[in-house]
């Protein structure tokens, strides 16, 4: 018989060998009813307390996601507070910025924000930055590129401020809410997940503080340091309307028909294929034509990827697409589907599109339909800077999906008003031509000479295949000769390639 008392000497000797303490009983266990604990936690503080306790200092990097798109309220709320608290010289690293972030102009002028990293810029903020508002150039990255940069440490985030439509007191957070008090919904929090995982401190900003456990959750309490409740994190109606509205624009419908024909005759339209489309009118209309052909030929897709729309949800619910992989929900229907359907999976930006992540979904993507502001005769694409030299878009997942997919299809009209979309050389290089396979315009389809087999298949299907130079010449003939843009000598933007190399720079525009 060996009692605990008798073994004590052995226990102590063993502990000493292992460099550990021996066990001593400490206090009594907590007996408070756990219902009470489910409603409170020391992580729940005011925004000001969260900022102070996060240890944020001048010169540090703060981050945000853009899942509320034009309805985002978190960036302005937080930066206003940081300005009020006297912070200076901060680096704002958002997954993207929109028209609604115009108040940042004043914060830049006052020295609160002195550096920006983002996927895109729009509106007055983009206009001012294009004209040289900032001393430091804005760093632009694709969504996959941002995920990589955060994971690799190229983009180190000190404090992440992540808006969430529900969060429990411990920090389990979602882009939707299952409570009766739900105020907002954005669906996937894919672009916020690298921030949640890698930022030194993570502050969840929510407009629906629910009881523990807020499961299934997107962001885990393990990654969260503070939880801040506010009136509103975003206006969900500004993500996109819930209803499917098909374009009535005849040019978009023509482009969509042509894009659908390219897909159907590409050689990749087979049972189990995978697809990603954008949210533009032509892209959405193309889904409609592809759907009809899938039904006719009895073909089903294994997954649809990317920004998920109501159109894709419909195909999934009809059984035509097995799974949805969602980095960003483009409308309320998609956001609701993500909440309610377990075959509709949320992915982080890294798992979605990072070049260095072997399992990122773009690597398993057959076809992608993308838009463009400009395509040049070398198939290079620009989706960031307007033909007037002013920043007016976002890189998004454009270069990621173009590079990783088996077939990338750019759909754009030959002209937008007097602006040509097929040009001699793009204003800014975003997606290298070597990754762009097909360009669909209403005046014909150009196939990259690197993909002769695609040109053959499309010709055999009776599609109008043309040389991309002839498209450029046709555009020039209609619009006349454009005068050169009045660029200055200041670099206002740097375009990072998805592998972390520098792809291009954007110069300022001088009026």
Partner 1 sequence: MEMKDAFAGTLESGDILIQISPTEKQGVEIELQSSVAYQFGEQIKKVIRETLDGLGIDKALVRATDKGALDCTIRARVTAAAVRATGKDVWHE
- Which residues contact partner 1 (rule: CB under 8 A)? 387-389, 416-419, 478-483, 485-486, 509
Cβ distance to partner 1 smaller for residue 143 or 392: 392
> Least CB distance from residue 415 to partner 1, whole Å?
8
Cβ distance to partner 1 smaller for residue 20 or 481: 481
Cβ distance to partner 1 smaller for residue 85 or 478: 478
> By C-alpha distance, which of 185, 171, 169 is closest to 340?
185
> Least CB distance from residue 131 to partner 1, whole Å?
13
* Cβ contacts of 225 within 8 Å, gap of 6 or more: 43, 50, 53, 54, 171, 201, 202, 203
> Least CB distance from residue 249 to partner 1, whole Å?
11
Cβ distance to partner 1 smaller for residue 479 or 505: 479
The secondary structure of 70-85 as a DSSP string is: GGB-HHHHHHHHHHHT
> Least CB distance from residue 257 to partner 1, whole Å?
22
* % helix, strand, coil for the chain, step of 5: 35, 25, 45
Cβ distance to partner 1 smaller for residue 343 or 482: 482
Cβ distance to partner 1 smaller for residue 58 or 388: 388
> Least CB distance from residue 480 to partner 1, whole Å?
6
Cβ distance to partner 1 smaller for residue 106 or 388: 388
> Least CB distance from residue 108 to partner 1, whole Å?
24
Tokens of 362: 């773009």
Q: Check if the beta carbon of residue 308 is closer than 8 Å to that of residue 324.
A: yes
What's the gap between Cα 182 and its chain centre? 24
Q: How far is 329 from 119, CA to CA, in rounded Å?
A: 17
> Least CB distance from residue 421 to partner 1, whole Å?
12
Cβ distance to partner 1 smaller for residue 402 or 506: 506
Terminal alpha carbon distance of the chain = 94
> By C-alpha distance, which of 396, 467, 482, 511 is closest to 66?
396
The secondary structure of 365-432 as a DSSP string is: --EEEE--SEEETT--EESSB-TTS-B--B-TTHHHHHHHSSEEEEE--SEETTEESEESS-SS--B-
Q: Check if the beta carbon of residue 54 is closer than 8 Å to that of residue 46.
A: no
> Least CB distance from residue 259 to partner 1, whole Å?
22
In the chain, how long is the greatest CA-to-CA distance?
102
Cβ distance to partner 1 smaller for residue 465 or 479: 479
> Least CB distance from residue 312 to partner 1, whole Å?
29
> Least CB distance from residue 104 to partner 1, whole Å?
24
Cβ distance to partner 1 smaller for residue 489 or 511: 511
- 3-state secondary structure at position 34: helix
Torsion of CA 306, 324, 93, 121, to 10 degrees: 40
- DSSP 8-class letter at 434: G
Helical spans, DSSP H, in 55-133: 74-84, 104-109, 123-130
Other beta carbons within 10 angstroms of residue 251's beta carbon come to 15
């Amino acid at each position: 018989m060996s009692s605990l008392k008798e073994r004590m000497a052995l226990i102590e000797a063993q502990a000493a060998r292992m460099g550990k303490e021996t066990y001593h009983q400490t206090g009594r266990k907590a007996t408070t009813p756990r219902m009470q604990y489910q409603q409170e936690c020391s992580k729940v503080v005011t925004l000001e307390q969260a900022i102070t306790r996060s240890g944020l200092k001048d010169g540090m990097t703060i981050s945000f996601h853009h899942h509320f798109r034009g309805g985002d309220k978190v960036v302005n709320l937080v930066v206003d507070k940081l300005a009020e608290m006297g912070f200076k010289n901060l680096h704002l690293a958002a997954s993207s910025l929109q028209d609604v972030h115009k108040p940042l102009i004043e914060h830049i002028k006052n020295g609160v924000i002195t550096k920006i990293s983002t996927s895109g810029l729009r509106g007055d903020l983009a206009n001012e930055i294009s004209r040289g508002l900032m001393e430091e150039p804005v760093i632009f990255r694709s969504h996959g590129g941002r995920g990589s940069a955060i994971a690799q440490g190229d983009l180190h985030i000190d404090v992440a401020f992540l808006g969430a439509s529900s969060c429990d007191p411990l920090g389990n957070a979602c882009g939707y809410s299952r409570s009766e008090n739900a105020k907002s919904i954005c669906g996937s929090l894919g672009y916020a997940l690298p921030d949640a995982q890698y930022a030194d401190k993570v502050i969840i900003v929510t407009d629906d503080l629910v009881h523990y456990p807020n499961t299934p959750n997107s962001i885990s309490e393990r990654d969260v340091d503070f939880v801040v409740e506010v009136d509103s994190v975003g206006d969900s109606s500004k993500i996109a309307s819930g209803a499917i509205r098909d374009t009535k624009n005849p040019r978009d419908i023509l482009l969509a028909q042509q894009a659908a024909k390219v897909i159907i005759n590409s050689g990749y339209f087979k049972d189990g294929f995978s697809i990603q489309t954008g949210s533009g009118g032509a892209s959405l209309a193309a889904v409609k034509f592809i759907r009809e052909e899938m039904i006719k030929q009895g073909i089903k897709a294994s997954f649809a990827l990317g920004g998920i729309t109501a159109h894709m949800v419909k195909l999934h619910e009809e059984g035509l697409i097995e799974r949805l992989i969602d980095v960003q929900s483009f409308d309320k229907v998609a956001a609701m589907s993500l909440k309610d359907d377990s075959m509709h999976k949320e992915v982080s930006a890294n798992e979605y599109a990072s070049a260095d992540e072997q399992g990122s979904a773009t690597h398993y993507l057959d076809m992608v339909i993308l838009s463009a502001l400009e395509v040049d005769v070398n198939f290079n694409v620009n989706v960031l800077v307007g033909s007037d030299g002013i920043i007016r878009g976002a890189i998004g997942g454009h270069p990621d999906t173009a590079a990783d997919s088996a077939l990338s299809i750019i759909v754009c009209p030959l002209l937008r008003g007097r602006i040509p979309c097929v040009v001699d050389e793009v204003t800014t290089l975003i997606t290298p031509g070597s990754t762009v396979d097909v360009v669909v315009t209403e005046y014909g389809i150009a196939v990259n000479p690197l993909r002769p087999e695609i040109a053959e298949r499309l010709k055999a299907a009776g599609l109008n295949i043309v040389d991309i130079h002839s498209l450029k010449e046709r555009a020039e003939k209609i619009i006349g000769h454009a005068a050169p843009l009045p660029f200055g000598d200041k670099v206002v933007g740097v375009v990072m390639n998805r592998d972390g190399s520098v792809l291009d720079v954007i110069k300022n525009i001088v009026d």
